[in-house]
Structure 1
Amino acid sequence: MAEVETKQETNAATEPETQAATELETKADSMVGEIWIGVDIKASAEKFHHMFAKRPHHVSNATPRHIGGVELHEGEWDKVGSIVLWNYIHEGKPKVAKDRIEAVDPEKNLRKFRVLEGDVTPKQGGSGSVARWHLEYERIDEKVAHPETLIPFLESMSKEIDEHLLSTE
């Protein structure tokens, strides 16, 4: 089960299929917001992180419904400053995101891009891990909706990657 927290000015509910505990807070500027999601996975934190740190070009093999391909545009896969091009499918539409790696911390299983940050931690007192995603955004126009639709996307993508990692053990 995923845990979700969003921050934004409006108190819109998240997608019903996430079945997650949600806490909404307000911010002074409704054009800016944040989303946090934690997804319980069975794979180890190290294995999940390794997929994004060392083999992001394999992510599309693990979750082809969500990621169509990942290309290194500039730099090296696990180096700060590198630029990665993500081809993904969101709400049934192909989209492209070009993002710069801002931080990598293998000890914390952390990878931070300019827009999206992810880390994986082992569960306390049990097997498996929690994949956590943090997204900060600024809408370019009042007509653009807050991106709550990314919550089920990140949850489903994480679970598919988890299943892939477990099937290759």
Structure 2
Amino acid sequence: MALHGFIGTQIELKSPADKFYKIFKGQAHLIPNVSSGHIKGVQVHEGDWETHGSVKIWNYHLGDEVGTFKEKVEYDDENKAATLTGLDGEMFKYYKSFKGIYQFAQKGNVSVANLTIHYEKRNADVEAPDRFVGLMVTLVRDLDAHFAKA
């Protein structure tokens, strides 16, 4: 069994791709207001909200687990992608490396989100991070519902 790999999904969205990327690029602090059932807070640890290389700490609730995810963010404006490279947090009990990618694209009247996690397990007994992809999906769907109401 491979210790490293990637897992992900693609979902269709009702709202424009630009709105999602704008939130991830400069307004991540608003996400707990929209997805409060899962994201309890986001704070800047180093840098600021929109600078490539800034470090943020996410506080999340996933099933029975309450945890933190300290990440260094990279932005790709051309592809509307935010890459969150894990630095510290509860998932590092199970994974040696953990990188989440949120990429948004506009295809005519439809937007899509490509949500991917690249990871390396600590050992073969660790499951793939399906539940964290589920958290990414929930967060993006919560944002889509919020944009639809506005």
Common topology (TM > 0.5): yes
**Which residue of the partner structure matches residue 44 of structure 1?**
16
* 2:82 corresponds to: 111
- 1:93 matched to 2:77: no
What is the root-mean-square deviation of aligned Cα atoms in Å? 1.4
Contact 2:115/2:137 (8 A) holds in 1: no
Letter of the 1:65 partner, please give it: G
Q: Residues 39 and 158 of structure 1 are in contact (CA less than 8 Å); yes or no, is this contact kept in structure 2? A: no
Query: 1:100 deviation in Å?
Result: 0.5
User: Normalization by structure 2: what TM-score?
Assistant: 0.84
CA-to-aligned-CA distance 1:61-81 (integer Å, 9 cap, x gap): 111112111110000212122
C-alpha distance in 1, partners of 2:110/2:40? 27
Instruction: Show the counterpart of 1:16.
Output: none
Higher strand proportion, which one?
Answer: 2
Deviations 1:37-91 (A, max 9, x none): 1111111010111111111000111111121111100002121221010111112
Q: Secondary structure at the match of 1:150?
A: helix
- Residue 106 of structure 1 and its aligned partner are, at CA, apart by 2.3
TM-score (norm 1): 0.75
Matches of 2:135 and 2:148, distance apart in 1: 20
Matched residue SS, 2:148: helix
Aligned identity (percent) is: 26
Aligned equivalents of 1:74 and 1:151: distance in 2?
Answer: 26
Counterpart in the other structure of 1:72: 44
- 3-state SS of 1:43 partner: coil
Other structure's SS at 2:78 match: helix
Residues 1:34 and 2:18 are matched in the alignment: no
Q: Greater CA radius of gyration, 1 or 2?
A: 1
Q: CA deviation at 1:144?
A: 2.1
Amino acid of the structure 1 residue aligned with 2:142: E
2:137 matched residue in structure 1: 155
SS at match of 1:107: coil
2:117–2:133: 8 Å Cα contact kept in structure 1? no
| 1:130 match | 112
